[in-house]
Amino acid sequence: QVQLVESGGGLVQAGGSLRLSCVASGLPFNNYAMGWFRQAPGKEREFVAVISWSGGSTYYADSVTGRYTIARDNAKNTVYLQVNSLKPEDTAVYYCAAAPFLFRDHRNLEHWGQGTRVTVSS
């Protein structure tokens, strides 16, 4: 059974930072691309970032490029999302996802975490 468990969300002031983590189990982590999406209230889930199985390739949404960094530790079955220079519009539930291919479209994906909430106050 595949499990993805996110942590690290919270309430932060604009300009602040957080590090989100997602621990995976039940899948061959080293063979899976890992990524993050977010969903704000009343909005569709949107792509944030993805990292290849080796960590050699990363892709970001334009809205977070330069502020967010995705990384992984294959020895710990963990993917991270460092979020800096947070803005109120970054407020959302952040979800971790996994697939045996690189992705940007949430509709193609089978494995999801339960989400971790990030709230940015102005």
pLDDT tens-place values along the chain, 122 residues long:
999 999 999 999 999 999 999 999 999 999 999 999 999 999 999 999 999 999 999 999 999 999 999 999 999 999 999 999 999 999 999 999 999 999 999 997 999 999 999 999 99
93 within 8 A of 44, measured Cβ to Cβ: no
| H helix or E strand, kind and range, residue 98 | strand 92-99
C-alpha to C-alpha distances, 58 to 2, 11, 24, nearest whole angstrom: 23, 27, 18
C-alpha to C-alpha distances, 78 to 67, 108, 112, nearest whole angstrom: 20, 21, 14
What is the reported pLDDT for 108?
Answer: 79
